[in-house]
Amino acid sequence: MKIITDYGQFLNEGMKPSNEVAEILDLLKNTSTEDILAFRDSLSELENTSENLTESVVGDLVDKLKRKFYQVVDDKIWKYLINRKRDFYVDLIDKLNIFDLTTLDDVFKNHPNFKLESLYLAGGMDKAKDVGAGWRIVVENEFEKYPGKSTGLPDVDLKEFGEVEPKRTVDGEYLDLFIEKPAEAKKLYDKPLILNPVRKEVDRTKDPDFEMAAKKYKTFNQDTEPEEYEPTMTNIRTTLSKSIEVGDEHLVRLADGVFLGLNTAAGAGTYGELQTQSFMNKPIFVYMNDDTWSFSDFSMWTFPHISKLMRNTDEMKTFVATIMSYE
């Protein structure tokens, strides 16, 4: 009799191919969108066939797909697919829609109450070298490039893109207005309103005491004595509780969806926001904004909740164009 020696071995017993999903996703990472969507459409043959889905029929369909897409995927994905049979194939058709950045039809189908009026820019801040401002500015600028009404609101600073009269980017006191009176704030802007927490969390960049405490916090390790934590920890906890966390959570609550800039700087706060969105059944649009990444760098918990996946900046621009043209 085989003896299982520890709890971890017990959990993993019989689950040797634990990395298969990550490997499959990494294959898709570098596959063209056109090939992925052609693959998705070919899978729909499984739904439309009138034959009983015996292993022979599934095998024939797999062979047909394999011949057609042998340059796109390898045997690992086919082994994985055929072992799951019909349910997996049919489910995969919908899952591959996350790569179709030219439509929002599937998003509205899966989120019947979704309104495309405001998007919250989630992502790493504490671990990001620029407090996560860089990629958010790029996204704000992409939305601001599209025509819109003249709001007459104070200019917003888009850093390397210059200062502009905002059409969709909500800044300063207007973020507070959005939290207190969202309907009133929405009247001032074209949609979707872009809610950037970096613009809300002024304490991170404008409060010298908090900035110094945050830098000192990053020097603490297991050898740091408890008394050395103070007053640094008190400063951080007070500022986060009073000035930062509450405002961010209200923006997450009020936003119609999350536009997530995902990279390795994403930490507990980001995943907490995603979990909140999941409970609220709001869509999550993921923008992989770092050129050097692998799916295996991130918690697999995230992927079932993704509505659309942008693998680079060009795909982000394609998806923004889809949002702006969607009626």
How does pLDDT run across 59-101, given as a tens digit for each residue? 666 666 666 665 555 566 656 655 654 555 556 567 788 899 9
For residue 227, is it within any domain? Answer: yes
Same domain, 81 and 113: no
Give the residue from 36, 170, 27 showing the smallest Cα distance to 102.
36
122 strand-pairing partners:
260
Among 100, 127, 146, residue at a domain's last position:
100
Among 75, 100, 125, residue at a domain's last position:
100
Sequence-distant (≥ 6) Cβ neighbours of residue 132 within 8 angstroms? 123, 124, 125, 198, 261, 265
Count of residues making up the chain: 327
3-state secondary structure of 313: helix
Same domain, 267 and 237: yes
Same domain, 215 and 94: no
Same domain, 203 and 251: yes
257 strand-pairing partners:
119
Give whole-number Cα distances, 252 to 102, 255, 307, 316, in Å: 25, 5, 17, 21
Q: Token pair of 211, please?
A: 């900035």
For residue 1, is it within any domain? Answer: no
Q: In this structure, what is the dihedral angle of CA atoms 310, 168, 160, 157, given to the nearest 10 degrees?
A: -140
Contact 112, 105 (CB under 8 A): no
Per residue of the chain (327 residues), what is the pLDDT tens digit? 455 455 455 445 544 444 555 666 676 777 788 877 877 777 776 666 655 555 666 666 666 666 666 555 556 665 665 565 455 555 656 778 889 999 999 999 888 888 899 999 987 554 446 544 688 999 999 999 999 988 899 999 999 999 999 999 999 889 989 989 999 999 999 999 999 988 875 545 556 666 666 666 666 667 767 666 666 666 656 665 555 555 567 787 888 998 988 876 555 556 666 666 666 678 889 898 877 777 666 666 667 778 899 999 999 999 999 999 986
Same domain, 33 and 154: no
Q: What's phi and psi for 170, nearest 5 deg?
A: -90, 135
Same domain, 224 and 112: yes
Same domain, 236 and 250: yes
Same domain, 222 and 143: yes
Domains: count for the chain: 2
Among 52, 75, 100, residue at a domain's last position:
100
Sequence-distant (≥ 6) Cβ neighbours of residue 291 within 8 angstroms? 312
Same domain, 133 and 226: yes
Same domain, 143 and 256: yes
pTM of the entire predicted model: 0.65
- Domain of 306, in residue numbers: 106-325
Contact 29, 315 (CB under 8 A): no
For residue 2, is it within any domain? Answer: no
Q: Token pair of 281, please?
A: 């059944």
For the beta carbon of residue 315, count every other beta carbon within 10 angstroms. Answer: 17
For residue 145, is it within any domain? Answer: yes
Q: Token pair of 233, please?
A: 């920890």
Same domain, 216 and 259: yes
Same domain, 142 and 231: yes
Contact 319, 310 (CB under 8 A): yes
For residue 246, is it within any domain? Answer: yes
For residue 134, is it within any domain? Answer: yes
